[in-house]
Amino acid sequence: MKYEFAGDLQAIAEEISGLLFPHVKIDKIKCLRSFGTSSKRTIARCHALGKLMQKAMGVNAFYALEFLSERFDKLSEEDQIKTIIHELMHIPFTFGGGFKHHNVVNEKNVNLMYETYLSKKGIQKNKSWW
Q: How far apart are CA 50 and CA 22, in angstroms?
A: 21
Q: What pLDDT sits at residue 119?
A: 94
CA gap 37, 1 in Å, rounded:
6
Nearest to 19 by CA among 116, 96, 105: 116
pLDDT of residue 35: 96
Q: Give 7-42 pLDDT, tens digit per residue.
A: 999 999 999 999 999 999 999 999 999 999 888 899
Q: Low-confidence residues of the chain, pLDDT below 70?
A: 124-130
Range 2-121: architecture per CATH? 2-Layer Sandwich (3.30)
